[in-house]
Structure 1
């Protein structure tokens, strides 16, 4: 190699390094307190960004109104919805929730999982039938399918949004597909236009798992009202919390009558036993707790969106952190969780667990989400169950096994970071700045991560 060639190559390598330095800032300040974010990491013995405790959900929403409602229900002696089917707390909740969501009808259930299961049964889905859904979800989604002895067929995700990929759904359609069950994970919308296009092409009903998506809208429409049926959860961690509880919303008169009958152990509104159904009724205590929150639920929803938008505007400026992608037309999110993708290449190749440990040490409660994917859980044992051996063909079993290969889903599982949004996103701008400053601090000290 002559001197001229060596000099040229050396010049190019130096130029490349300089360009990389311009692309990846050595120090980032998306928040207002650069001095704090440049300090020694708390996990290494430095002072944490935040020392104040975060409010606890749902304790922070317990008020005199809620206690009075529970007390009144207790004293009434009408503890089951059938004790006061017209003016009870459950019936009143159903009317108000339908109005708030823009749906024609609402039926309360004992949980979000029950809401999904009621929909599966109302659509007469049976052993031998298939439902296409996401593996990146709470097990309740899959449980509702398995309870009917139907076969869950998993479609891979759009890595950017963590939502089910409509193109992958289209590839899974067979003559045995009886429903598509998209999951609005974190409370944000799936690509519903594309999903409905696939469903309508094949005349397949859509059950929206909107259990995390209270009040969220897509192109001006409430999630849960775009498909044939929509399901919600009021479990203790949800944005409207009653310990347990759920709801189904919809606009089809006959289908929603069937939903009511199924959740009422097969008994219709006339008291006639007309179909198979388990008792999945919401009780009056759950109704009273939910009713006490509805007046402020929309205000809290809007506050979460305001704070989440502020977080995203700052976090996207930190290299290696990418907020959950929102599809065009996603007017809002339920923000059950605030989520972003972590790319370790920008953090000294530190594993996500190392990053999370550093973030927790700074006083920010964050974690991964859904440790064991549902396709991992069922990959080995679902096929050993008698009902599945008896009711499914070799072709269906192969389709199920093929649906367990989900590279984008696996990638999301390894890289997503979530912050519980129930209470935290109801905080002040200063609270949000604590999160931003902690993330900046870790990035600016990334070379000390190990």
Structure 2
């Protein structure tokens, strides 16, 4: 069968029995392009949108109890965590560690600060190298270069959007000290392979779990697999307080060092011991987070249920393929719901045409990260810094620049489409069906996409 001519009827016929049953239970309306006009016509070309004047679940989560907590904190006059070790921040740290089955938690002012704290606490600095992904927020790399270490970027598996374990091992040098896996979309990397590599080469593992709240892999919560796990509570995240972050771990001495680093180098005993910025979370952030914890497991479960439903509805549909998941993945944080766009199944229409069409139908798909960090100006900037020229040989820096050829990352950037999921995947089944309806409407009108 020619997949470029895949009709809705043929698409349903290709599904397995389980998926076909689900499709029957939640049937997709038939969009016949021959009928012309109305709902059959792309909204971008004057038709009626699949989803019109219907709002998505609001995010971040707010309720009156949270507001009361902020008022209580305001009236208490205790606004900094150092004024009360058992205040909202200290209480949140205990509760957040419990959520993950971790022994300790240290709260920070952002996810980037959490990562930076971990790099410094592990003694990583000038002359050292840390391997991470090019497909991430700049905060991941910023945490490494803040300590004047060298962020080495490994290429991706283009279907999972995670760095490829084989390329990670290829990038190890005698100066490599740690690996930072990044869980894009809140979905696990191939952590069995990564941990095996780390053990073989005696490397530390800092998990960038900033998008991966409560996700699990082989019976462990993400953030508890490596030496340290880092999280973000930025306003768009699945647990949010505007800005904020946290580190979790089980090594008491290491976690105390994290506390000291984020407390401008001052230990709990008040001794000024080491290098560190002031990365403390304040009591207002702690109050908002404490207000978000009730119901967090239920919201996590609903996002995963809706993502599983979307995956089942799209099973065997070649035009949009859900993010690849590695064996061992049990659940995902779902900061975004990501898919790979295969334009050959959409009449070779560029991804931008698909995005224009589906956004007009009322579904907010985007391209997410425009280009990998290997293509951003910071690379040439650090190579020109005196500190890097002094701490790394000219030969090493030349090779570093040459290694910024990461074709699989470029491919992922060009093909990925995503939905922001923190709020969207808290929708009703009708909301989620609208996503499928819009995808199939655009697919049925694929021969019109190049008119956009």
TM-score range, shorter chain: over 0.9
2:316 equivalent to 1:317: yes
Maintained 8 Å contact 2:57/2:427:
no
* TM-score, scaled relative to structure 2: 0.92
1:449 aligned partner: 449
Residues 75-154 of structure 1 correspond to what in structure 2 (within 5 A)? 75-85=75-85, 87-154=86-153
Runs ≥4 residues deviating over 4 A: 28-31
SS in 2 for 1:331: strand
CA RMSD of aligned residues (A): 1.4
Judged with a 3 Å threshold, the aligned counterparts in structure 2 of structure 1 residues 56 and 139 are, in CA distance, closer, same or farther, namely farther
Give the distance between the partners of 1:145 and 1:275, measured in 2 at CA.
17
- Post-superposition CA distance 1:13-58 (Å, at most 9, x none): xxxxxx426x852334656232357511111111000013433643
Maintained 8 Å contact 1:304/1:335:
yes
Maintained 8 Å contact 1:239/1:336:
yes
Give the distance between the partners of 2:371 and 2:159, measured in 1 at CA.
20
2:29 aligned partner: 34
Number of residue-to-residue matches in the alignment: 429
Residues 21-420 of structure 1 correspond to what in structure 2 (within 5 A)? 24-27=5-8, 28=11, 32-36=27-31, 39-55=40-56, 57-59=58-60, 61-85=61-85, 87-377=86-376, 378-420=378-420
SS in 2 for 1:380: helix
Maintained 8 Å contact 2:28/2:436:
no
Judged with a 3 Å threshold, the aligned counterparts in structure 2 of structure 1 residues 218 and 346 are, in CA distance, closer, same or farther, namely same
Maintained 8 Å contact 1:303/1:425:
yes
- Post-superposition CA distance 1:94-134 (Å, at most 9, x none): 00000001111000000000000000000111111111000
Give the distance between the partners of 1:160 and 1:413, measured in 2 at CA.
11
Give the distance between the partners of 1:249 and 1:57, measured in 2 at CA.
28
Maintained 8 Å contact 1:57/1:237:
no
2:2 equivalent to 1:20: yes
SS in 2 for 1:295: coil
Provide structure 2 residue ranges, at least 5 long, that are not aligned to the other structure: 13-22, 34-39
Give the distance between the partners of 2:65 and 2:170, measured in 1 at CA.
51
Measured after TM superposition, the shift of residue 381 of structure 1 is: 2.5
Give the distance between the partners of 1:352 and 1:168, measured in 2 at CA.
28
Give the distance between the partners of 1:437 and 1:233, measured in 2 at CA.
33
1:16 aligned partner: none
* TM-score, scaled relative to structure 1: 0.93
Maintained 8 Å contact 2:57/2:426:
no
Measured after TM superposition, the shift of residue 319 of structure 1 is: 2.5
Measured after TM superposition, the shift of residue 375 of structure 1 is: 0.8
Give the distance between the partners of 2:154 and 2:319, measured in 1 at CA.
27
Give the distance between the partners of 1:327 and 1:373, measured in 2 at CA.
22
Give the distance between the partners of 2:125 and 2:229, measured in 1 at CA.
20
Maintained 8 Å contact 1:122/1:262:
yes
- Post-superposition CA distance 1:55-101 (Å, at most 9, x none): 36435x2111100000000000000000111x200000000000001
- Post-superposition CA distance 1:181-217 (Å, at most 9, x none): 0100110000100000000001000000000000000
Residue range with higher mean Cα deviation, 309-318 or 340-349: 309-318
Give the distance between the partners of 1:156 and 1:24, measured in 2 at CA.
34
SS in 1 for 2:329: coil
Give the distance between the partners of 2:400 and 2:380, measured in 1 at CA.
11
Measured after TM superposition, the shift of residue 388 of structure 1 is: 1.4
Provide structure 1 residue ranges, at least 5 long, that are not aligned to the other structure: 1-18
Select the structure of larger CA radius of gyration.
1
Residue range with higher mean Cα deviation, 194-203 or 309-318: 309-318
Residue range with higher mean Cα deviation, 33-42 or 176-185: 33-42
2:37 aligned partner: none
1:12 aligned partner: none
Maintained 8 Å contact 1:210/1:230:
yes
Maintained 8 Å contact 2:229/2:247:
yes
